[in-house]
Structure 1
Amino acid sequence: MRTTFGTILVLLGCLLAAPAVAAYALVGEVTDRQRYLDAVEPLADDPEIQASVTEQINAALAGKVPESARSLVDQSVASFVRSDQFRQLWISVNQEAHPEVLAMLRGEEGGSLSVQGDAIVLDLGDVAAQLRERMTTEGVPFAEQIPPIDASVELISRPAVRQLVPAFDLLETLSVVLPIVTLLLLVGGVLIAARRGRVLIVGGIGLVVTMLLLVLFQFVARSEVTARSPRPELAGAFYDALTSQVMTIAWIACGVGGVAVIVGGIASAARSRRAASPPPRRRASFSR
């Protein structure tokens, strides 16, 4: 009876493990500004991000630069996007965009300039302004005559984000309680059971299966978000950055599940050997 009850508790814990991991990792990654910035900062070095920003700035410069200076301007743009100066501006731009990303995930209406129509837009105005100063300093012909550049990059569409709003709202609500309940169910189920080896095997297999399903869901959700975004390469890069911790914890949990299966197998085998071995014989004593 104890083993049956413990197995039920462990299976319930396995069912809650996937949303618990998503709640703990994703909610913390997105809602905490510093963790969000730490996640998106490396994207400044992503070739697809750099190519998209370069494309938008070059498009904004179209018709504003004489053809004779176009080659030098293109080289300056490419050099600037790969510089540390661009990295700092990238962080600054994302600091302004973070409240809007969070508002869209929560289903709130944002009123700032970083939301235009149905998409979150990263305003590259500051990037373009510093680029103009850099080109002037480097002596690029006609750079000082270039008017203010209006450039932006559409990042994630509102329809794509709204698909995840109900799930995110639920995860944010349960982000503290759910991981604790999951751990109590898993640990409590093992401790209550009389045959802990068997329960460990069941729990380990269940944990591996649920984590693999979580990984599969992540891939499916990524494809949906990128398919509905104006710039799939940017949306995909941001999605990977913000869900990387979810994937890391999921694979760690898979490893924990595998270890639980091995430990449970060893414990069950030892129990079986003890049950099969004959009881020790008592030596007969003779009294005179």
Structure 2
Amino acid sequence: MTGDSGGRIPLHRRIAVVLLVVATALLTLVAVVAGYLRAQVLDTDRYVDTVAPLAADPAIQSAVADTLTEAVLARIDVAGAAADLGQAIRDPDERNPLVALTLRNLSSVLGTYTEDLIADAARTLVHSDAFPRLWTAANRQAHRGAVAALTGVDSEVVRTDAPGVIAISLDPMLAEIGDELDSRGFVLPEREFALGTEFVIVDSPELARAQRAVRILDRGAIAVALAALACALGAILVAGNGFRRYTVIALGVGVVVAMAVLAVSLLIARSIYLERVPAREGVARAVYDTVLHPLRVDAGVTALIGALAVVAALLAGPSAPAVRLRAVSRRTLGRLRRPAAR
């Protein structure tokens, strides 16, 4: 490696600079992920703010409405009630064929009507102004479970029969469904629903297996960022005079490459995850893209910083374009200062 002054860096220092540049890139990648986990995923307020827009996502609204409808229907025996009603009003001699036919079809008619009515009430709820508030409250309550699933701390919060599952409780929404049905004149036979109705946000076995890694990243986020900065400064110092500009360029390129690797890894992970949940692909896609959006933004900002470092180092060099640009900048600044001096 030849420096700006024409000298060459010794081999052992060259190897040290390369190792420090690579270490900086790797540590930067880890620091970005660790910072995202610590500041976005494991912080309740930021997590809730991140998932709040999902309340307006059509896939989420449809899935929640379906879950609520199934939960209400599971708690009422429409077929049994229709059979009892038919038995109570049955004409023992069946002298009216139309009445007899109606009674035989009563169960299916009532079942269809009831299901449509409950489904419409659920859809009304998820499209109402109350749903974002209920969604936010449910996610805030569930965040403790999400943190437990990711860190392994307070593990009794996580369902032991379903590791890797993060779900929110829909019980408060069931109460809203009951009120909506009451307002339509349909009184549920049992308003005190059994607790435990959930809507699964994340279902991934890898989540449970990642507990140890997440716990380490959470505790070492600041240390990793400081280590990356130390490696970058070390590389610049080891390179010495005449080679520092090249080292800054190498560091910037390394950071950009690391962020590109992270971006590609997120795309691959997204594809694999969606393939494993085809039945809920719309929900899974919305959750994945929303929850990981801050990480993609952090990676983009970090890559931009690396690219700016490369550009700044190139413009500070002895190349003809850099020299001309610096001269133009000096003249421009000089013209701007003259009116101020007057």
Q: Which amino acid aligns with 1:209?
A: V
Q: Which amino acid aligns with 1:175?
A: A
Paired residue secondary structure (1:142): coil
Counterpart of 2:126 in structure 1 is: 81
Q: What is the deviation of 1:198?
A: 1.3
Counterpart of 1:22 in structure 2 is: 33
Residue 308 of structure 2 is aligned to residue 255 of structure 1: no
Query: Does the aligned pair in 2 maintain the 1:154–1:231 contact within 8 Å?
Result: no
Of stretches 13-22 and 67-76 in structure 1, the one that deviates more from structure 2 is 67-76
Q: What is the deviation of 1:267?
A: 2.5
Aligned length: 271
Residue 315 of structure 2 is aligned to residue 266 of structure 1: yes
Residue 163 of structure 2 is aligned to residue 115 of structure 1: no
Of stretches 51-60 and 143-152 in structure 1, the one that deviates more from structure 2 is 143-152
Equivalent-residue separation in structure 2 for 1:232 and 1:61 (angstroms) = 24
Matches within 5 A, 1:105-254: 105-108=150-153, 110-112=155-157, 115=159, 117-118=161-162, 119-137=165-183, 140-145=184-189, 147-149=191-193, 151-157=197-203, 159-190=205-236, 193-194=240-241, 195-228=243-276, 231-254=280-303
Q: Which amino acid aligns with 1:83?
A: S
Query: Does the aligned pair in 1 maintain the 2:72–2:118 contact within 8 Å?
Result: no
Q: CA RMSD in A?
A: 3.0
Residue 65 of structure 2 is aligned to residue 54 of structure 1: yes
Query: Does the aligned pair in 1 maintain the 2:73–2:115 contact within 8 Å?
Result: no
Equivalent-residue separation in structure 1 for 2:35 and 2:289 (angstroms) = 16
Q: Which amino acid aligns with 1:169?
A: R
Q: Which amino acid aligns with 2:217?
A: L
In structure 2, relative to structure 1, the CA distance for the partners of 1:168 and 1:226 (3 Å cut) is: farther
Q: Which amino acid aligns with 2:178?
A: R
Equivalent-residue separation in structure 1 for 2:259 and 2:234 (angstroms) = 20
Equivalent-residue separation in structure 1 for 2:283 and 2:142 (angstroms) = 14
Q: What is the deviation of 1:269?
A: 3.3
Stretches of structure 2 lacking an aligned partner (at least 5 in a row): 1-8, 79-109, 324-342
Q: What is the deviation of 1:248?
A: 0.6
Query: Does the aligned pair in 2 maintain the 1:17–1:179 contact within 8 Å?
Result: yes
In structure 2, relative to structure 1, the CA distance for the partners of 1:69 and 1:103 (3 Å cut) is: closer
Equivalent-residue separation in structure 1 for 2:213 and 2:292 (angstroms) = 14
In structure 2, relative to structure 1, the CA distance for the partners of 1:232 and 1:166 (3 Å cut) is: farther
Q: Could you tell me the percent identity over the aligned residues?
A: 25
Of stretches 33-42 and 261-270 in structure 1, the one that deviates more from structure 2 is 261-270
Counterpart of 1:277 in structure 2 is: none
Counterpart of 1:44 in structure 2 is: 55
TM-score normalized by the length of structure 1? 0.81
Paired residue secondary structure (2:185): coil
Of stretches 35-44 and 164-173 in structure 1, the one that deviates more from structure 2 is 164-173
TM-score normalized by the length of structure 2? 0.69
Query: Does the aligned pair in 2 maintain the 1:156–1:235 contact within 8 Å?
Result: yes
Q: What is the deviation of 1:262?
A: 2.0
Query: Does the aligned pair in 2 maintain the 1:160–1:224 contact within 8 Å?
Result: no
Equivalent-residue separation in structure 1 for 2:185 and 2:116 (angstroms) = 11
Structure with more relative contact order (C-alpha pairs < 8 Å, separation 6 or more): 1
Query: Does the aligned pair in 2 maintain the 1:17–1:182 contact within 8 Å?
Result: yes
Paired residue secondary structure (1:156): strand
Q: Which amino acid aligns with 2:203?
A: S
In structure 2, relative to structure 1, the CA distance for the partners of 1:39 and 1:273 (3 Å cut) is: closer
Equivalent-residue separation in structure 2 for 1:269 and 1:220 (angstroms) = 42
Of stretches 163-172 and 263-272 in structure 1, the one that deviates more from structure 2 is 263-272
In structure 2, relative to structure 1, the CA distance for the partners of 1:129 and 1:44 (3 Å cut) is: same
In structure 2, relative to structure 1, the CA distance for the partners of 1:211 and 1:273 (3 Å cut) is: closer
Equivalent-residue separation in structure 1 for 2:156 and 2:23 (angstroms) = 42
Equivalent-residue separation in structure 1 for 2:210 and 2:281 (angstroms) = 16
Q: What is the deviation of 1:212?
A: 0.6
| CA deviation profile, 1:87-131 (whole Å, cap 9, x unmatched) | 11112211221111111112357334x636213332211111112
